[in-house]
A and B are shown apart, each in its own frame.
Chain A
Amino acid sequence: MKHIVIIGNGISGITAARNIRKRSDFRITVISSETKHFYSRTALMYLYMGHMKYENIKPYEDNFWKKNKIDLVFDHVDQVDTISKSLQLKSGNQFAFDQLIIASGSTSNKFGWPGQNLTGVQGLYSYQDLETMEQHTNKVKHAVIVGGGLIGVEMAEMLLSRKIEVTFLVREKEFWNNVLPIKEANLISRHLRTHHVDLKLETELKEITGDEHGRVNAVLTNKGETIPCQFLGLAVGVSPNINFLSNAGIEVKKGVLVNEFLETNIPDIYAVGDCVERIYDLSGRRNIEQVWYTGRMMGEVVAQTICGDKTKYEPGPWFNSAKFFDIEYQTYGRVSNELKPDEQDFYWEHADETKAMHLVWYTNSNAFKGINVFGIRLRHECFDRWLREGRTIQYVLLHLSEANFDPEFFNRYEAQIVSGVIAKYPAVKMEINA
């Protein structure tokens, strides 16, 4: 029987394993040195905040794996031998495979700052990172976070939940402005401040200083400011975790290079998830996408391929979600941080500063391009269908209330939003009133 070995038990590797099991009787082994069982990486913050226990963030009970004949090996892969098709593990064991799926995830970026290896300086990606953070934030009064993205805001929320003051250094003009348009970025910046985050915009980290015990005691910014702190969270992005592949003969650049079938240059070796760098273009998408959803999709695709139904990685319309303290965020299609010359848009914000919607469409064709929504829930199924069908902004506005996914009795804002669009773009009107 064919032996499929998967390196990494994150969402990509585990999705691959589960889907191979659904379709075949192949022997499946998943190797990870992070945790014995699959857990939800996106939920690490909730452990620290006391919303859940480790048991709660494991999506499957421990007996699930045995029941589904998926072998779990708690070990680290030191080397991949592509010629003998075997793995060298840290424990000394060797492991032969017929087909290999690399799903080794990411590591946190560090950009060579002076003092970046001091105690109390860290990123947040793995379970081990969480343990270190737990240990190094004990009795801390003030923390600094660098990097205005999703992990940064999570770390801020985590630390504040433990009553640790947070200074948040963000390089951009507003929080996450490299992704969000300025108005949304500003909305979230304001929200962070209502949660007492000391947000320092257009500020970069220059240097980290430590005390005599080798522990961080302050950071110096590019504006010459010194901020005393006992903990520094680095949230300046992640990079593919591929060091262990250095001499394997598998082609890598920033990540493991794969074609549209998620195949590497070596036959029978595939790669999925965060560690992947695509060698082909998918319009509007970066070649490395470190997102839960894309990892899950790749896992499904590679499983189908391995089980004999060769399938291309062709993700449907872009979607994503996040939560910034109390504000939920969903996006469907593409809303870039700067409006392109051939696009029109409409931004609506509620007076309570916790709800907003931003619609973007092509000026000439009126074709709907994307939506950012805050504090209102929208139906993925609707937007996926409308984007695939190439619907116009008029169509989307006309059917906007169908896409509402807020709980019963919640206030509805579609009418306000639609009339806002009409007021700004009288030309859009037509069908809506029909």
Chain B
Amino acid sequence: MPNGMRVIKLVGLGLFVTGFVIFNTLFFNATYVLTESVIEDTFRDSAKASLFLQSSSTMLNQKDGSVFSFVSDLKKIFESANQNQFGIYGITQEEVLDLVARSGKKFSIASVDSLYVGADEVSVFKRKSFKDYGSWLDGREFSSPEELQNQLLGVVEKIRTYAIINQVGFDRYQVKDLTYSITKASAISPVKANSSLYLFLTFGFCILGALLYILPKLQLPVGIKNNGIFFNVMKSTGWLGIFTGTWLIAFYFVLYFFPEYMTNWVSMVDPISKALNGNEAGRFFLYGFIYTICILVMGGRMIIHYRHSKYQILRTTSVMFFQTAFAFLIPEVLVRLNKPYFDFKNIWPLDYSFFFDSRLKELTSNGTLGLFMLGWGMALIIIAVPVFVYFFGKRWYCSWVCGCGGLAETLGDPYRQLSNKSVKAWNVERWMIHGVLAFAIVMTAGVIYTYWSGSSWVLFFDSYQLREVYGAFIGAGFAGVVGTGFYPLMGNRVWCRFGCPLAAYLGIIQRFKSRFRITTNGGQCISCGNCSTYCEMGIDVRWYAQRGQNIVRSSCVGCGVCSAVCPRGVLNLEVKEEAGRFGKPILIGNNHIKLVE
């Protein structure tokens, strides 16, 4: 590479690192002041707003330089507000004793009416909540008043943790949401005052830097350029790879589980969000924005890297298009038009919340468009998946359309060689991915049952709890934290290979009913191992190629890189008639050699 080009690359690297450092610094760079107007703006429920305001007197209008102490103070306010409500709405020890005295050994729910006679709000609440949680005790006889008292104390506890916290206090979901929005609204930071400048200093620098780093590759002759990958500290799990993985894992943890700490980052993209959908940015807007930029910039790199291959150029352009238009822009515009947020290319069970009651309600209450979306989503599952997999293989989705696949094929391309190729890994993969598929089906079945019957209890589990576990462990933990965070550690398709239930579904069809296969070119294989090494799905491609056998594997996403890196032109992704897809190896060599399996 000429010296001029090397200088440009270095400048690019410098810009990128600068932008990245600024981005990280911004995480800490704000002061927080809780004001009445913040509370007014962030609370939808005015009663709760005033409750919160009452408990926050010590914190009000105080400057706090640290997001950590600010968030912990907010949590204390919620806690004390709840305590306050327990004091007002909680059933007291005396009241319990009174009820016992009124009932004797046999409990009568009428005793509640006689105890709480007032028409004031507190009496009404106590009466109602006691009936909601304690009416099952009505008419029961107890061996002693103490036993009745114990039962009643249990009811009192339930009222505290469910009725009071939910209705007049703050349950954990509300605490989570409000902590996030209060923190975001309370922040006073240069980012908020001048978001476009900071957008440029972070994203601008990173994008520009990355492009300057990538574009000089155009000077190199076209062809596979994998030189030095296994000496590279980024691409062979060296210190930089481990750093990157750790950073990504931390980022996903904050994004999914502690978003209240990253509000300063979110504020940066407020103007873009307002321009697109009219609202302030949420954390997932920021995430979608970063995601799309990564796919576009690293997609550019992918295209340059494989510019000798039209297959790779088209495929990469396709994932760039679907991410930008379908995953990012169209849903935001739909929101702007007051329509449901909908990603037209996302398919259940990857889109695991498709059948959640909240979404079904949203779609069914949005007229023709809502119903169309519902029908479209169903058609993708029932028709598009089997039909397209039959004609093209699962690649039509996994490496041409899917967002997770899109990120893996662009941002993740430098890490594809890190996937484990052992038979052991393959065994783990088959159990794990089909396990997740089964989990997704059971969870969804429960959710649909709940939607129809209104009862959350299905056979032996609670559908709400199950969906929550799925969301946390599979949706956030596996797909996000592990799925992307592990790129530099275990390759770019950890989620797609071990976890994605849609990939499992597509894969079953690809394995048993499809025209797609990777063909081996007769006896030309030299067992070099490039195909297996660069298979992001960890398929030992060479195992088949060196026997002259077709490669038919459920996990193959058809990225085509095995074919691209093969130095002898041995592998080709093909769709042909199903006959002859499996079958004996066709090693072409000596006459009269009988093939033995």
Type the 1/0 row for A1-33, where 1 means its CB is closer than 8 Å to any CB of B: 000000000010000000100110000000000
Cα–Cα distance between A24 and B589 once the two chains are bound (Å): 22
B529 partner residues in chain A, CB cutoff 8 A? 40, 43, 46, 52, 56-59
Which residues of B have CB within 8 Å of A57?
528-529
Whether the pair A379, B522 counts as a contact (CB closer than 8 A) is yes
For the complex, is B311 an interface residue (Cβ under 8 Å from A)? yes
Q: Is the CB of A42 within 8 A of B221?
A: no
CB neighbours of B223 from chain A (8 A): 325-326
Q: Of B224, B311, B530, B568, which one neighbours A326 at CB under 8 angstroms?
A: B224
Known pairs A53-B230, A314-B591, A326-B221; A292 contacts B526 (CB<8 A): yes
Known: A22-B596, A51-B229, A409-B310. A326 touches B222 (CB 8 A): yes
Q: How far is the CA of A238 from the CA of B423 in the complex (A)?
A: 36
Contacts of B597 in A (CB 8 A): 22
A161 to B231, CA, bound (A): 12
Do residues B589 and A293 form an inter-chain contact, with CB atoms below 8 A? yes
Residue tally, chain B, CB below 8 Å to A: 52
Query: What does the 1/0 interface line of B194-228 toward A look like (CB < 8 Å)?
Result: 00000000000000000000000000011110111
A311: B residues at CB distance < 8 A = 590, 592-593
Does B542 have its Cβ within 8 Å of any Cβ on chain A?
A: yes
For window 152-205 of B, CB contacts with A under 8 Å fall at: none
Q: Is the CB of A300 within 8 A of B230?
A: no
Find out whether the CB atom of A50 lies under 8 angstroms from the CB atom of B226.
yes
When chains A and B are docked, how far (Å) is the Cα of A261 from the Cα of B542? 29
B281 shortest CB reach to chain A, Å = 38
A337-377: which have CB < 8 Å to B? 354, 377
Q: Check B221–A328 contact: CB distance below 8 A.
A: no
Q: Specify which chain A residues have a CB less than 8 angstroms from the CB of B572 in the assembled complex.
A: 377, 405-407
Contact of A384 among B309, B522, B543, B568 (CB under 8 A): B522
Enumerate chain B residues within 8 angstroms of A326, measured Cβ to Cβ: 221-224, 308
Residues of chain B within 8 A (CB-CB) of A61 are 422-423
Which applies to chain B's interface (DSSP): helix, strand, loop or mixed?
loop
- Complex: A70 Cα to B223 Cα, angstroms: 39
Contact in complex: B588, A410 (CB < 8 Å): no
Question: Does B375 sit at the interface, judged by CB under 8 A?
Answer: no
A residues 41-93 touching B (CB-CB < 8 Å): 42-43, 46, 49-53, 56-59, 61
Which chain A residues border B523 with CB–CB below 8 Å?
A: 293, 296, 319, 380
A109 located at the interface, meaning its Cβ lies under 8 Å from any Cβ of chain B in the complex:
no
In the bound complex, residues from chain A placing their C-beta under 8 Å from that of B423 are: 61
CB distance from A40 to the nearest CB of B (A): 4
* B:287-319 near A, CB below 8 Å: 308-311, 314
Contact B226 A49 (CB under 8 A): yes
Name the distance in Å between A383's Cβ and chain B's nearest Cβ. 9
User: Are the CB atoms of B594 and A319 closer together than 8 Å?
Assistant: no
Q: B542 to chain A: which residues have CB within 8 Å?
A: 59
* In the complex, residue of chain A having the shortest beta-carbon distance to the beta carbon of B593: A300
Residue A304 lies at the interface, judged by CB distance under 8 Å to chain B: yes
Q: What are the residues of chain A within 8 A of B309 when measuring CB–CB?
A: 407, 410
A195 within 8 A of B: yes
With A23-B596, A377-B572, A384-B588: A52-B530 Cβ-Cβ less than 8 Å: yes
Q: Is A315 an interface residue (CB 8 A)?
A: yes
Closest to A312 in B: B592
Let me know if A419 is at the binding interface, CB within 8 A.
no
Query: Residue on B with the closest CB to A161?
Result: B227
Partner of A50, one of B232, B310, B526, B530: B232
Given contacts A300-B590, A322-B568, A381-B588, 11 further A-B contacts (CB under 8 A): A43-B527, A49-B227, A50-B232, A52-B533, A297-B593, A314-B592, A326-B222, A330-B524, A379-B521, A384-B522, A407-B309
Q: 14 A–B contact pairs at CB < 8 A?
A: A11-B527, A42-B526, A49-B226, A50-B226, A297-B593, A300-B593, A319-B522, A319-B588, A321-B569, A328-B569, A354-B222, A377-B521, A381-B522, A407-B560
Residues of B within 8 A of A (CB): 221-224, 226-232, 308-311, 314, 417, 422-423, 519, 521-524, 526-530, 532-533, 542-543, 546, 560, 563-564, 567-569, 572-573, 586, 588-594, 596-597
